Structure 1
């Protein structure tokens, strides 16, 4: 067995194993459509290596060569579909299928050209390069925020596309790619080409596996930190992310405030109108908080009818305005399932982080302000202030 044939066999096995790995992820999480398409892509890659490995057994290898080319290009198409699903982009089917059909036709037609002509070699490799560069365009068009691993993937794809484009020149420099398709595996170019393919095959697959596993773990973490009813963070998720946001705000010297809200007389809603109505009230209030929260805010449902929102970059006055706006909006909303004249209200406690304070002290002070709001008749906002700061004007009930 020649060196190139040995590398072909290794590539075939590696592609099969990678397909199995992606399929395992797809079975574990059926929402990972990208993993299914990735598995298809690498299965087609394994099929390509099998066909290449079997070419010496055919007396007339030209049809087999064309089939091998089409299978490899189809594998890259499947890869691009996987990338499109991963990055929330509609797959460019027309462009990919148009390129696939045109390239396959061209490869069929160039079989009459001299085997070592640059045009014939280009007809094989340029479609691979163009289809790979298309994957970069898909990532760049994604509405999702790019991270470092995404940039690394684009760099790897660019290198892969460039090596496809360079292969005709590498083949000519190494004396061609064999006098016939059957002689391909015996050429020096075949060893170099298959080795390059193995490097990029494994590098891209491993990076994608890391990215997909990262996404799966992130989703699992998010699910464990999310309250199913409200869609906001649960207490565990809120405290974890709020503490982290507070530390970051302190490092950057920006103010931090906390608003805690409690739905007024919530038990009477559950008892008088049913738990389905109570659940709807929870969702309505959570929706208001979600609309209110910006990217720098952390909102969560921290108890049955108790909510909190950490405002990084907001002082006490700004937090008070947010609380008052939410209070007024909620009290004005008609609630499905309640009588026409019945409105729901909420009480709010607001505190700003003191220079010597921490998250726990901020929570205690906001909670005390919430207690004051309930003691003063509910449906109002109360502020936690330093003992020597005097009483600030407080908002009354709306």
Structure 2
């Protein structure tokens, strides 16, 4: 096979393979539309390369315009998809200005003032601007993880490729007068090879990001209670252990609040399991709103909940529990008969020293038992402290 033909078919083949892979990935993750846009981007770039090498019956000039329209659409889709992947607002205006300006300049030097060198500069500078725009959008999140940082660097390298490589080749080997010998030139060879390399690196980074998304989603599912939306027991214990370690290192106070819905079994039997599910979901939403991002809230049993509160002493934790109790007992639950009152009991314990989670939960559970035993719809505190071993001064000195 002719070497030039092999090089010409290299990029379309790579682009179609990557595009198909992203589209297949999107079929299994429909909630991530950026994957479909990435697939479209790579697939659209394939005919762009083909129409650079093969001329359509409509003529050379229109074929080149169509080819660069495909390139531009692919670049816009790729830029928007990368930015959207990281939760940033897609800069549609900036993308449209750069893409439209590049195509307008390309068309001017194609039809009005024909000049191949300026066409090369116009379209490459537009793509370089898009790469810088993506880098600017990724800059605030570049330290959030390895893929963010890698894509930020690749965006900068892509802009360097479009600006510096293009200028260097044009200065050294240009100007280009016509397409005679153009596809054997150093510009075209370096353009194809650099595009193939950067496309693969960007695609691998995005595949890695998608894989990390799946792993995070699976971890969330294994650590989250589907009914309440709170952490399940496993997730709560892992999160609580981490918070306890951090607070111990910083010597911050920590408190634990346990809550249990009153007469839940009777409510379930009287109104049905659907009503019971609504009660749990309603209580969980109030608990989550009260906890915010500062602590860890979880559903650790059927109708039992736990909240670990960093930077909180016993008095502050009591106020927290009283506020949730009062809010919940004064409200109503959708789906229950009017006048049906649902309440909860609370047990509160403050950490002593570097007390582990298990004894802390045991003390809070003892306080909760007292609240249930003494009439429910109340808050009880644990004043107990973990036992310490008394060592006489004489033994310490000896």
Structure 2 counterparts to residues 1-398 of structure 1, below 5 A? 6-54=6-54, 61-89=60-88, 91-93=90-92, 95-97=94-96, 99-111=98-110, 113=113, 115=115, 117=117, 119-139=118-138, 146-176=144-174, 179-386=177-384
Q: Is the 8 A contact 1:5 1:185 kept in 2?
A: no
Between the aligned partners of 1:326 and 1:194, the Cα distance in structure 2 is: 63
Q: Closer, same or farther in 2 for the Cα pair 1:58/1:368, shift >3 Å? A: same
Structure 1 stretches of 5 or more lacking a match? 390-398
Unaligned ranges ≥5, structure 2: 388-398
TM-score (norm 1): 0.87
SS in 1 for 2:54: helix
Q: Which has the higher contact order (CA 8 A, sep 6+)?
A: 1
CA drift at 1:33: 0.2
Q: Secondary structure of 1:344's match? A: coil
The SS at the match of 1:174 is helix
Deviations 1:25-63 (A, max 9, x none): 1011111100000000011122222223435x9895332
1:369–1:206 CA distance, 2 compared to 1 (3 A) = same
Alpha-carbon deviation of 1:147?
A: 4.3
Answer whether contact 2:363 2:384 (CA < 8 A) is retained: no
CA shift, 1:305, in A, is 0.6
Once the two structures are TM-superposed, the CA of residue 225 in structure 1 deviates from its matched residue by 1.9
In the alignment, what sits opposite 2:390? none
Q: Which moved more, 1:125-134 or 1:303-312?
A: 125-134
8 Å Cα contact 2:325-2:344 kept in structure 1 = yes
Instruction: Name the structure 2 match of 1:395.
Output: none
The Cα RMSD (Å) is 2.8
Measure the CA separation in 2 of the matches of 1:67 and 1:23: 24
Contact 1:259-1:350 at 8 Å conserved across structures: yes
Residues 121, 167 of structure 2: 8 Å contact kept: no
Aligned length: 386
Q: Note the C-alpha offset of 1:354.
A: 2.5
Classify the secondary structure of the residue corresponding to 2:40: helix
Could you state the TM-score of these two structures normalised by the residue count of structure 2? Answer: 0.87
Distance 1:247 1:120, change over 3 A: same
Q: Secondary structure at the match of 1:291?
A: helix
Give yes or no for contact 2:352–2:385 (8 Å, CA) kept in 1: no
Q: Is the 8 A contact 2:328 2:343 kept in 1?
A: yes
32-41 or 101-110, larger mean C-alpha shift: 101-110
Return the offset for 1:316: 2.1
Which segment is superposed worse, 129-138 or 91-100? Answer: 91-100
- Alignment partners' CA distance in 2, 1:275 and 1:98: 57
1:101-134 Cα distance to aligned partner (Å, 9 max, x none): 44323212202656464x3332121221222333
Closer, same or farther: CA 250–31 of 1 in aligned 2, 3 Å: same
Shift of 1:95: 4.9
